[in-house]
Amino acid sequence: MKKSHRRPIAVLLAAAVSLSAFGALFTASAADTEDKKEVKLVYVIDEDATPGKTTDLTLFEDSTTSTGHTNIPAGTFFKKGYVFSGWTYDDVVGYSSGQFVDLPEDADEIVFHICWIDTTQEKHTVKYVLERDGITFDNPDWLEEESYYPNEVFNPNDTTVFVEKETEDGTLKYISKWLTDGERVYRYGTQLVMPDHDITLYPILYKKIQLTYFAGDVDRLNGNSEYSYEKMESSSDELAGRDRFSRNGFELVGWKSSIDGTVYKPTETIVMPGEDVTFTAVWNPVEYKIVFNPGNGGTSIKIPASTDEVITCPDPGITVEGKHFAGWKSTNDGSIYQAGEDYKVLGAIPGMGISFKAVWEDGDAPEGTTITSSETTTVTTSASTTVSTTATGSNTTVSSIIPEEIIYGDANCDGKVTVADSVAILQHLGNRDKYGLNPSGEVNADVDGEKGITAKDALAIQQYDAKLITKFPAEK
C-alpha cells in the first residue's frame, strides 16, 4: 500500500460518522448511468506469466464499459518464483478473479495489473485499533493481528464489531460497519493489497442510540403509548407511519423530534442522530359528518363537526302517528340525547363514523315534553306508506317517501369513501350487534349492484379506493 501523509484519525472518523447515507463515498456506480462515458479497461499480463489451463486469454483483451462497473475476468496465472494473488489498479484495493468492481466516475482508462506474492519475503502485520470519543476499547478476542506477504490481496476482518463501555452516564454501545486506514474508508468485504510495511486499520464505530415513539400525554388511545427501538447513528431510516398509534377522534399527522423540535412527516426518511431521540406524535382532530337518522321515511340530518367540538342535537323533523320522539340513541355507545341538548364530539374508533338513530315510543310524549320544529312532517305507517309535509307559510303535500341522500360506498357515514368503509362493512357482517351499520350506512354500503350487503360490497369499495373502478355497479 502506498505511503502518503495521513489525515488525523479523529477528523476522518468524524467525517465518516456525519454521512447522511451510507455508500455515498464508496460506490461510483450509484449515479445514473444513462449518460456515462466509456471507460477503457486494460489488463496487463507479464510476458513470463503463464495462464491456467481454464483461463481464456481473450477475456483479458482491451475492452470498454459505460456502466460504471465491471467484473474481473475469471482465470489464474503462474510465474516462476511467485504466487498469483489477484488484481489491482491502484495498489490499495485488490480484486479476485471474477469479482465485481465499481469504477471511479472520473476515469477514462483503468489499468489492472497482477499482484504477485514473493513467499521468500517477510510478512507484515495488520493491527486493529478500536477508538471513539477519546476512548480506546480492548479488542475482542477474535480481532487479533494478522500477517500477510507484501502485495498479497487479503480481506480485512469483516465481522461486525460490537463494543460497550461503562461510563458515568450509563453504558455506551457502538457498532462498526466500515474500516479506515487513516486515508480512505472501506466497507467490510473490501479486499486490500498488503503494502511492504505494517499497517493499522480502524473499525469506524457508530453509536447505537435509542429511538422512542411517544403518543404524547393524550387521552382516548387504543393500545400502547410508547415504543422503543435500537438504531445506529448516521443510518438512514424511515419513520413510523400514521398507524403507529391509534387514538379515537384524532389522526396522526407528524413526529416531533426531541432534539431540535422539527416535525417530520410519517414515513419520512431521516438520518439518525448521534444521541437518543424521542419522536412525539402530532395529532389533528378528525372532521366528521354526524348523522342523525330519524327513520320512518324521514331524511337523515348531517352536521359537520370536528373532534371535541360541541353541537346541538337537532329535532327529528318528522312526527310519527301513534308515537312520540324519545331522543337520539348513539349507535356508538347507546347513550340517549334529547333534541336541543349539547353533544360533545369525542371521536370514534379510527375508520368508524358517528351516528344517532331516533327512538320512537308508543303513545303521546310525557307531559312537559316539547318538540319544536320550523317544519313538521307527518308519517303514516301502513302497508302503503305515505308522507305529507306541511311547511310554515304553505300547504304542500307529497304523496311519496322522501328519499335519503345516498353516498355510495360511505358505509361509516363520515362523508368520504375509503378503505375504512370496507372495514366497516366486514365488521358489520361479522358482528352486527357490536359493529352494525346505521340505516344510512346500510343504504350507502350496498354498492355491488346486488341487493343486500355482502363481502362483495367491501371488495367493490377496495377496488374504488385503489382506482380500479371509477363508479360502483349500483350507480345508474
Which pLDDT value is given to residue 360? 95
CA distances from 164 to 55, 133, 135, 178, 277 (A): 48, 13, 11, 17, 19
Q: Are 176 and 185 in contact (CB under 8 A)?
A: no
Which pLDDT value is given to residue 134? 83
Give the separation between CA 17 and CA 24, rounded to whole angstroms. Answer: 12
Mean pLDDT over 441-465 rounds to: 90
Nearest to 42 by CA among 104, 102, 115, 114: 114
Which pLDDT value is given to residue 92? 96
How far is C-alpha 35 from the geometric centre of its chain's CA atoms?
Answer: 32
List, for residues 215-270, the tens digit of each pLDDT value: 999 999 999 999 999 999 999 999 999 999 999 999 999 999 999 999 999 999 99
Q: What are phi and psi of 184, to 5 degrees?
A: -130, 160
Nearest to 282 by CA among 261, 254, 259, 251: 254
Mean pLDDT over 447-453 rounds to: 90
The structure's pTM equals: 0.58
Which conformational region is residue 189 in: left (phi greater than 0), alpha (psi within -120 to 50 degrees), or beta? left
Rank 10-14, 332-336, 395-399, 428-432 by mean pLDDT and report only the highest: 332-336
Q: What are phi and psi of 56, to 5 degrees?
A: -95, 105
Query: Who wins on pLDDT, 256 or 350?
Result: 256
For 309, other C-beta atoms within 10 Å of its C-beta total 15
Nearest to 155 by CA among 89, 102, 85, 104: 85
Q: Is the pLDDT of residue 101 over 90?
A: yes
| Residue 104 cell numbers, joined | 471511479
Mean pLDDT over 260-287 rounds to: 96
Give the separation between CA 355 and CA 442, rounded to whole angstroms. Answer: 12
- Confidence bin at 302 (pLDDT 50/70/90): very high
Question: Three-state SS for 59?
Answer: helix
Q: Is the pLDDT of residue 387 over 80?
A: no
Q: Which fold has domain 406-476?
A: Type 1 dockerin domain (1.10.1330)
Which pLDDT value is given to residue 326? 95
Mean pLDDT over 367-373 rounds to: 47
Which pLDDT value is given to residue 199? 96
Weakest-pLDDT range from 109-123, 176-190, 295-309: 176-190
Domain ranges of the chain: 9-117, 215-285, 286-405, 406-476
List, for residues 155-213, the tens digit of each pLDDT value: 997 667 788 877 777 788 888 888 999 999 998 889 999 999 999 999 999 999 999 99
Q: Are 288 and 348 in contact (CB under 8 A)?
A: yes
Query: Who wins on pLDDT, 5 or 148?
Result: 148
Q: Are 208 and 176 in contact (CB under 8 A)?
A: no
Separation of first and last alpha carbons in the chain: 78
Which pLDDT value is given to residue 34? 53
Q: Which CATH architecture has domain 286-405?
A: Sandwich (2.60)
Nearest to 416 by CA among 251, 254, 264: 251
| Residue 298 cell numbers, joined | 324521514
Question: Three-state SS for 197?
Answer: coil
Average pLDDT score, the chain: 84
Q: Is the pLDDT of residue 333 over 50?
A: yes
List, for residues 35-68, the tens digit of each pLDDT value: 668 999 999 999 999 999 999 999 999 999 999 9
Mean pLDDT over 22-34 rounds to: 39
List, for residues 392-423, the tens digit of each pLDDT value: 333 323 333 333 478 999 998 888 899 888 98
